[in-house]
Amino acid sequence: MDFKSKVIVLSGIGRAGQVGDFLARAFASQGATLQLLGRNHVELDARAGELRALHVPVETHACDLSDARAAEDAARAVAARTDGRIDALVHVAGGFALSGPVAESAVDGWQQQLSINLGTAYATTRAFLPLLRAGRGSALYFASAAALPGASVAGVSGYAVAKTALVTLMRAVAAEEARHGVRANALAPAAIRTASNVAAMGPNATYVEPDALCDVVLFLVSNASRAISGQVIAVG
């Protein structure tokens, strides 16, 4: 797939060996121009530096996407550099934590899962939709296998509820924005072979491999998938 002249916004860029890192490199290998969003400016700048060493056009925007004003500021900064349009928003920002049984769960921890997995997606989508409309682009969200029917969600209610709500957000965007030429889809991956997952689960667990994940992501924001919108794609 050729992404030359395409502007891709990736959220959730941070440590090496994580999903955002894999995706940035995959898009870069296909000629994309990258706009990277992340909370930790040190890690964000490190990933951008690695890409620039490969002559990839990339710019960074350090922000907390759970803050709607910060997301709006990031969108304005991107718009100023991209003539007010983007071709894709790939929202990776989020995180996982056990919440334990509902009866014993901590309210703060539950609300944090909603904030980082759903709140960031809402704020980022709302801020970047004008740019997606201008580019007749595609939004892609990272849900989870925990959001699929029949999934085992005991002990992870906060995470599972947030990711399930994220799917509903995606469907709303797909329905509302179709008249503007904007598509929206979501991935529901099983565990991905990231550095943090391998550290926690070991190298021999069953994982979605990064190259397979990247292939699906690039397809879903490419013109080849132009007839696909409002869908949840299980991966792994």
Interval 60-74: pLDDT, tens? 999 999 999 999 999
In this structure, is residue 1 part of a structural domain? no
Interval 83-116: pLDDT, tens? 999 999 999 999 999 999 999 999 999 999 999 9
Whole-number Å distance between alpha carbons of 76 and 127 = 8
In this structure, is residue 158 part of a structural domain? yes
HSE-CB for 196 with a 13 A CA cutoff: 11
In this structure, is residue 129 part of a structural domain? yes
In this structure, is residue 80 part of a structural domain? yes
Structural domain including 179 reads 7-235
pLDDT of res. 125: 98
In this structure, is residue 57 part of a structural domain? yes
Smallest CA-to-CA distance from 114 within 128, 97, 138, 134 is with: 97
0.85 surpassed by pTM: yes
Q: How many domains does the chain have?
A: 1
Q: What is the mean pLDDT of residues 151-157?
A: 95
Instruction: Please give the full DSSP string across 3-69, using - where no structure is assigned.
Output: -TT-EEEEE---STTSHHHHHHHHHHHTT-EEEEEES-HHHHHHHHHHHHTTT--EEEEE--TTSHH
Whole-number Å distance between alpha carbons of 191 and 235 = 9
pLDDT of res. 115: 97
In this structure, is residue 123 part of a structural domain? yes
Return the CATH number at 188. Answer: 3.40.50.720
In this structure, is residue 174 part of a structural domain? yes
Q: Is 158 exposed, middle or buried (0-12, 13-18, 19+ CB in 10 A)?
A: buried
In this structure, is residue 2 part of a structural domain? no
Q: What is the mean pLDDT of the chain?
A: 96
Contact predicate 81/2, CB 8 Å: no
